[in-house]
């Protein structure tokens, strides 16, 4: 272990003041501490923000919710407002990790998980995300569970969070406090594609602190479905957060986001566009899925994710249509 | 039904494991792994590491004490510049704290002359050769009749190839040693091992000591599955570090390092050819196996040996071909040989059932035999058919529609499968001491190991029964090489081997008990060497039948094992409670083998990539819905005084085939490369 200083922030201001640009904020520690043990992250200074007063889920007047960044994953999944108004969010949280980890992990930390790509986690190997410019062995190596969409020559990693996939479908807003004050970033703009700078997962600047995630009212049925290699405690091969509003057999509104397929939660805008106003039928769902996946560029060993994502979109929308 | 005697200590944390012994002045070791897959160490720069406060010593080939590597090349720690595989230990740090040792290990700079490692097992590898024997002492090849010609002439032919991946044992407790040297030159080891006596003799040889100078203590061991059946580099590292620093040294292999240094199951490629008549009666069986070993030490898994035992056929052949790659040395993992071999045999039997239209249970009954096909020996007992029939009854097999891919429940495809199990009933020589204490209690001592199997409990039951005493009055002490020498907990031979020694010692003691016990107690010992050597010639094997029902999501290829049922014939079951746990534990591991376990070799770097329990998937509770095990009455006078066969491994044997056969029945797709993941299955749905 390398020596580091540990400080507990007493307020957002205090946290910002303590952050020297290279410090790491600590939430539940369920990912950061693992990465420190592996030598992947080597912070000299840790500022604990898990005890800041952002541990509430509040109902907004418009019917949306404001989720504090320090709310644990377990508390979020158990929250009645969330379970009733945004079931896909509660389901997504419960599909991730294990009970013990969810008890520790925070909403803010969940958003900032690093990829579980094997090469990223092994400091004896090259990885552009961990060590920019060192190369990406995953492109020719082991990548059966890596990206099919939006990847680059520099990085084919996927984002591991389930919760963030639901938030992407929900048009969530990330509340951030930074040196220049407070700002709100739509979650789709919050995450980056790897391009030629895969070391940056998000648009956060050094010292930026996530204080809350705002989820607008959804008002239609939704669900989260995750396909993985075992029934619990495994990252998604492909997951889907979906919501569907059908009136008179036609799709009035739809939300679709995919997990496990890209460097960020993948909002399926093309599929949504194809579906709005279209008949709510399996054929239309399939055509929409195909429209979204037309730009997929699978690697040597992950082409199965294309039909998997397509089937999952069709299956989930069909189930939503049948129950709506 | 007897509960595990040490269960309270285990769940309350009072049971001590190797890392937990409180020792004053203890230091900690951390190892440096080779970051090239093959080559030579050019230099080891220890300056930065040594500057770290609290670093006591840095060991490498440049300064390590010389040891005798003859017993096992993997124990020749820091004895040469050669790097035989990526991840091999090339240096180590001893520090005042674990954190210091680990950080210093990161600061050790090793320069290499690197070559490209050769790490891919393939059937056209020019280095393939026929080993002199396969584990432990079986011939590599066997042949009876005219297998090739008989296969060609058979009315029905199946010719298919299966592959199984490398799999890692992954016991919960990592390989751990606490080493203490005494001023008199003797060595005390608290070790996580399946055999205190064998660690004692091997480590004595490595360090040039008399075995009486080495004591190994291991009362509780958190699993091994074969990987702790022989001492691993951790033992040598801890002992070496303790010698160099003059301090007690602890070393627990981190999970990530276990994937290179503590053994694993070899990947296999298995070609099977079955020739049969239209009724499914076998005329020819050909089983050709390809597998890997390392350049350090040969380990040849006996994958085709169960094929020599299972089914009748006048014409038959088995073969093993090995290639030494730049990989860690494979070793024992739960039922080595039987596990991969029976996966392939019981899958190809299912394929033959489909081709011939014979029910899979009936096909196995039809090819049953009362003599071991290749040795010609009579079986001491063989109740495969009884297991198949009782299993079929309990599972509800009757009336099964054999057509694959036709049972739909909504979007789910449902199917069932069956496979047979077998495992040899081995017995090893050993010794035990039984004591009558003056207070009316009894103590039995033997250097046996309880790696979570319930061995301590079984031996206590055996001792109490032989002494005709209440179990509360009998204590069995194990896990200490100072006790009478015992064989390794391996080959499912523990209870048979140790139990026999315990019975003989207790019988002898009873013979000498005559009224009051003298103040110093009364003692009797036994050595079963002659008894084991002089056993009649029989083919001794346990058998079983496993049934699985799966559902497969037709859209996503997710597979759920809805229920699994095993029926076994294992002689006399000594303790139903722990026996059932052994069976269902093995079956659960078989679910893992069928659906998720796979150590992924990186072709470029030459190491196993998915080296933690988040990436290397074993079944979670949610994957194990309904698993149950039963056994048939079996009385076998040719085994041992208890009439028991080993039960630690047979549960995994055949389990993966039962699941795979059920997946075929559900979907009509035969995935012949394990594990059956959505990535492998979905493209065919």
Helices vs strands, H then E, count in chain B? 16, 24
The mean pLDDT of B477-481, rounded to a whole number, is 98
Nearest residue of A to residue B560, measured between CA atoms: A231
CATH architecture of B431-533: 2-Layer Sandwich (3.30)
B431-533: same fold as B142-167+265-425+538-684?
yes
Residues of A in contact with B602 (CB under 8 A): 137, 141-142
Chain A closest-CA separation from residue B614 CA (Å): 7
**Residue A189 near residue A203, CB atoms below 8 Å:** yes
Residues of B in contact with A311 (CB under 8 A): 555-556
Instruction: Look at residue A258 in the predicted model and tell me its pLDDT.
Output: 98
DSSP at B73? G
The mean pLDDT of A110-120, rounded to a whole number, is 98
DSSP at B1? -
**How far is A48 from A9, CA to CA, in rounded Å?**
6
**Residue B399 near residue B419, CB atoms below 8 Å:** no
Q: Catalytic one among B173, B477, B551, B649?
A: B649
Q: What strand order describes the sheet that includes B176-181? A: B55-60, B89-95, B27-33, B249-252, B176-181, B187-191, B214-217
Q: What is the pLDDT of residues A152-169, one digit of tens each?
A: 999 999 999 999 999 999
Chain A closest-CA separation from residue B632 CA (Å): 33
Average pLDDT of chain A? 97
Return the structure tokens found at B505: 């010692």
Query: What ipTM was reported for this prediction?
Result: 0.96
Chain A closest-CA separation from residue B577 CA (Å): 27
Q: Is residue B605 within 8 angstroms of chain A, CB to CB? A: yes
Q: What is the pLDDT of residues A285-303, one digit of tens each?
A: 999 999 999 999 999 999 9
Instruction: Look at residue A324 in the predicted model and tell me its pLDDT.
Output: 72
The mean pLDDT of A206-216, rounded to a whole number, is 97
Domain ranges within chain B, ordered by starting residue: 7-116+170-261, 142-167+265-425+538-684, 431-533
Q: What is the pLDDT of residues B563-615, one digit of tens each?
A: 999 999 999 999 999 999 999 999 999 999 999 999 999 999 999 999 999 99
Is the predicted pLDDT of residue A58 greater than 70, yes or no?
Answer: yes
Q: Is residue B557 within 8 angstroms of chain A, CB to CB? A: yes
Instruction: Look at residue B533 in the predicted model and tell me its pLDDT.
Output: 96
Q: What percent of chain B has pLDDT over 90?
A: 99
Residue B649 known to be catalytic: yes
Q: What is the pLDDT of residues A235-282, one digit of tens each?
A: 999 999 999 999 999 999 999 999 999 999 999 999 999 999 999 999
Is the predicted pLDDT of residue B69 greater than 80, yes or no?
Answer: no
Q: What is the pLDDT of residues B113-127, one digit of tens each?
A: 999 999 999 999 999
Contact flag B604-A137 (C-beta cutoff 8 Å): yes
Q: Is residue A308 within 8 angstroms of chain B, CB to CB? A: yes
Chain A to chain B Cβ contacts (< 8 Å): 82
Instruction: Look at residue A2 in the predicted model and tell me its pLDDT.
Output: 82
Nearest residue of B to residue A239, measured between CA atoms: B556
pLDDT band at A1 (very low <50, low <70, confident <90, very high): low
Q: Is residue A294 within 8 angstroms of chain B, CB to CB? A: no
Q: What percent of chain B has pLDDT over 70?
A: 100
Nearest to A229 among B555, B596, B609 (CB): B596
**How far is B182 from B46, CA to CA, in rounded Å?**
28
Is the predicted pLDDT of residue B646 greater than 80, yes or no?
Answer: yes
Nearest to A232 among B33, B556, B622 (CB): B622
Instruction: Look at residue A199 in the predicted model and tell me its pLDDT.
Output: 98
Nearest to A118 among B102, B604, B609 (CB): B609
Q: Which CATH class is domain B142-167+265-425+538-684?
A: alpha beta
Instruction: Look at residue B70 in the predicted model and tell me its pLDDT.
Output: 79
> Can you tell me whether residue B9 is helix, strand or coil?
helix
DSSP at B472? G
pLDDT band at B558 (very low <50, low <70, confident <90, very high): very high
Q: Is residue B411 within 8 angstroms of chain A, CB to CB? A: yes
Q: What is the pLDDT of residues B486-518, one digit of tens each?
A: 999 999 999 999 999 999 999 999 999 988 899
Instruction: Look at residue B515 in the predicted model and tell me its pLDDT.
Output: 81
Query: Using H for helix, E for strand and C for coil, what is the string for B541-595?
Result: EEEEEEEEEEEEECCCCCEEEEEEEEEEECECCCCHHHHHHHHHHHHHHHHHHHH
Instruction: Look at residue B370 in the predicted model and tell me its pLDDT.
Output: 94
Return the structure tokens found at B239: 């002992």
Nearest to A140 among B99, B604, B623 (CB): B604
Query: Using H for helix, E for strand and C for coil, what is the string for B237-291?
Result: HHHHHHHHHCCCEEEECCHHHHHHHCCCECCEEEEEEEEECCCCCEEEEEEEEEE
CA atoms within 13 A on the CB side of B638: 15
Tracing tokens 């009212």 back to the chain, one arrives at A217
Q: What is the pLDDT of residues B596-605, one digit of tens each?
A: 999 999 999 9
Q: What is the pLDDT of residues B148-205, one digit of tens each?
A: 999 999 999 999 999 999 999 999 999 999 999 999 999 999 999 999 999 999 999 9
Q: What percent of chain A has pLDDT over 90?
A: 97
Instruction: Look at residue A6 in the predicted model and tell me its pLDDT.
Output: 97
**How far is B616 from B677, CA to CA, in rounded Å?**
13
pLDDT band at B268 (very low <50, low <70, confident <90, very high): very high
Angle between helix B196-206 and B233-245 (nearest 10): 50
Question: Which of A231, A235, A239 is the best residue to mutate to test the B interface, defined by the most B CB atoms within 10 Å of its own CB?
Answer: A231
Domains, chain A: 5-45 (no CATH), 222-323 (3.30.390.50)
CATH architecture of B7-116+170-261: 2-Layer Sandwich (3.30)
Nearest to A234 among B35, B603, B617 (CB): B617
Average pLDDT of chain B? 97
DSSP character string of B25-56: T-EEEEEEE-SSSSEEEEEEE-HHHHHSTTEE
Angle at B384 between CA B381 and CA B390, to 5 degrees: 120
The mean pLDDT of A74-98, rounded to a whole number, is 97
Question: Which sign does the torsion angle of CA B167, B173, B176, B182 carry?
Answer: negative
Residues of B in contact with A124 (CB under 8 A): 33, 35
Alpha-carbon separation of residue A110 from A26, A149, A163 (angstroms): 11, 22, 7
B-facing residues of A in 158-177 (CB < 8 A) are none
């Amino acid at each position: 272990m390398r020596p580091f200083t540990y400080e507990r922030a007493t307020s957002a201001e205090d946290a910002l003041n303590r952050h020297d640009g290279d410090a790491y904020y600590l939430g539940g520690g369920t990912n950061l501490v693992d990465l420190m043990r592996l030598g992947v992250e080597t912070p000299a200074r840790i500022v604990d923000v898990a005890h800041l007063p952002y541990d509430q889920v509040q109902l907004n007047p418009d019917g949306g919710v404001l989720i504090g960044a320090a709310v644990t994953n377990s508390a979020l999944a158990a929250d009645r407002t969330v379970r009733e108004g945004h079931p896909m969010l509660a389901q997504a949280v419960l599909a991730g990790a294990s009970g013990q980890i969810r008890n520790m992990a925070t909403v803010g930390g969940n958003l900032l998980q690093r990829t579980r790509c094997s090469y990223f986690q092994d400091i004896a190997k090259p990885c552009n995300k961990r060590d920019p410019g060192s190369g990406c062995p995953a492109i020719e190596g082991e990548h059966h569970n890596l990206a099919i969409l939006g990847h680059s020559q520099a990085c084919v990693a996927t984002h591991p969070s389930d919760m963030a996939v639901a938030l992407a479908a929900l048009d969530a807003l990330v509340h951030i406090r930074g040196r220049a004050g407070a700002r709100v970033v739509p979650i789709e703009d919050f995450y980056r594609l790897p391009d030629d700078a895969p070391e940056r997962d998000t648009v956060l600047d050094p010292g930026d602190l996530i204080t809350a995630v705002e989820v607008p009212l959804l008002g239609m049925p939704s669900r989260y479905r995750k396909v993985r290699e075992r029934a619990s405690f495994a990252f998604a091969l492909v997951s889907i957060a979906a919501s569907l509003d059908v009136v008179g057999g036609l799709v009035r509104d739809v939300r679709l986001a995919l997990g496990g397929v890209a460097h960020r939660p993948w909002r399926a805008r093309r599929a949504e566009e194809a579906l709005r106003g279209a008949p709510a039928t399996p054929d239309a769902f399939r055509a929409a899925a195909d429209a979204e996946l037309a730009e997929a560029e699978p690697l040597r060993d992950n082409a199965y994710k294309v039909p998997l994502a397509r089937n999952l979109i069709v299956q989930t929308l069909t189930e939503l249509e049948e129950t709506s | 039904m007897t509960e595990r005697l040490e269960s309270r200590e285990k769940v309350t944390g009072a049971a001590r494991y190797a890392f937990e012994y409180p020792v004053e002045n203890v230091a900690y070791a951390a190892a440096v792994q080779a970051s090239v897959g093959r080559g030579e160490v050019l230099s080891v720069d220890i300056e930065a590491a040594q500057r770290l406060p609290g670093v006591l010593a840095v060991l490498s080939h440049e300064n390590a004490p010389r040891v005798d590597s003859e017993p096992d090349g993997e124990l020749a720690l820091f004895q040469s510049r050669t790097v035989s595989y990526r991840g091999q230990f090339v240096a180590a740090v001893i520090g005042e704290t674990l954190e210091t040792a680990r950080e210093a290990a990161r600061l050790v700079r090793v320069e290499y002359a690197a070559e490209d490692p050769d790490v891919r097992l393939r059937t056209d590898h020019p280095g393939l050769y026929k080993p002199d024997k396969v584990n432990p002492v079986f011939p590599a090849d066997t042949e009876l009749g005219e297998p090739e010609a008989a296969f060609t002439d058979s009315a029905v032919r199946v010719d298919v190839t299966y592959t199984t991946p490398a799999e890692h044992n992954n016991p919960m407790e990592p390989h751990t040693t606490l080493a203490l040297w005494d001023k008199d030159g003797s060595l005390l080891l608290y070790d996580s091992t399946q055999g205190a006596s064998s660690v004692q003799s091997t480590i004595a040889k490595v360090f040039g000591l008399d075995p009486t100078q080495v004591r190994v203590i291991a009362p509780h061991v958190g699993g091994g599955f074969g990987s702790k059946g022989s001492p691993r580099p951790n033992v040598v590292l801890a002992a070496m570090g303790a010698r160099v620093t003059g301090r007690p040294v602890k070393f627990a292999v981190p999970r990530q390092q276990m994937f290179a240094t503590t053994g694993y199951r070899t990947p296999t490629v298995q070609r099977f050819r079955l020739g049969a008549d239209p009724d499914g009666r076998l005329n020819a069986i050909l089983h050709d196996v390809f597998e890997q070993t390392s350049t350090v030490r040969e380990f040849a898994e006996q994958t085709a040996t169960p094929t020599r035992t299972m089914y009748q056929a006048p014409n038959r052949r088995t073969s093993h071909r090995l290639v030494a790659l730049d990989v860690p040395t494979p070793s024992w993992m739960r039922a080595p040989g039987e596990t991969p071999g029976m996966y392939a045999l019981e899958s190809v039997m299912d394929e033959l059932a489909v081709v011939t239209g014979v029910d899979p249970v009936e096909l196995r009954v039809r090819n049953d035999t009362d003599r071991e096909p290749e040795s010609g020996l009579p079986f001491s007992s063989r109740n495969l058919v009884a297991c198949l029939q009782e299993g079929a009854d309990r599972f509800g097999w009757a009336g099964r529609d054999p057509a694959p891919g036709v049972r739909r429940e909504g979007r789910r495809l449902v199917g069932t499968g069956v496979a047979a199990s077998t495992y040899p009933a081995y017995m090893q020589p050993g010794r035990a001491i039984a004591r009558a204490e003056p207070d009316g209690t009894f103590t039995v001592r033997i250097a046996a190991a309880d790696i979570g199997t319930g061995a301590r409990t079984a031996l206590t039951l055996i001792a109490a029964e032989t002494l005709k005493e209440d179990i509360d009055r009998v204590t069995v002490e194990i896990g200490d090489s100072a006790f009478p020498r015992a064989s390794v907990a391996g080959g499912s031979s523990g209870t048979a081997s140790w139990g026999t020694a315990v019975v003989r010692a207790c019988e002898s003691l009873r013979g000498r008990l005559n009224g009051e016990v003298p103040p110093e107690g009364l003692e009797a010992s036994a050595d079963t060497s002659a008894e084991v050597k002089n056993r009649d010639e029989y083919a001794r094997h346990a058998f079983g039948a496993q049934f699985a029902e799966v559902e497969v999501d037709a859209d996503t290829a997710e597979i759920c094992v809805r229920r699994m049922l095993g029926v076994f014939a294992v002689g006399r079951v000594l303790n139903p409670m722990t026996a059932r746990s052994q069976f269902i534990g093995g079956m659960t591991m078989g679910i893992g083998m069928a659906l998720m376990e796979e150590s992924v070799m990186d072709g470029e770097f030459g190491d196993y990539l998915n080296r933690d329990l988040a990436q290397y998937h074993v079944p979670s509770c949610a994957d194990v819905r309904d698993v149950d095990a039963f056994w048939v009455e079996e009385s076998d006078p040719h085994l041992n005084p208890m009439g028991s066969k080993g039960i630690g491994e047979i549960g995994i044997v055949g389990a993966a085939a039962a699941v795979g056969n059920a997946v075929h029945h559900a979907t009509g797709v035969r995935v012949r490369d394990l594990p059956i993941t959505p990535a492998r299955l979905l493209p065919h749905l």
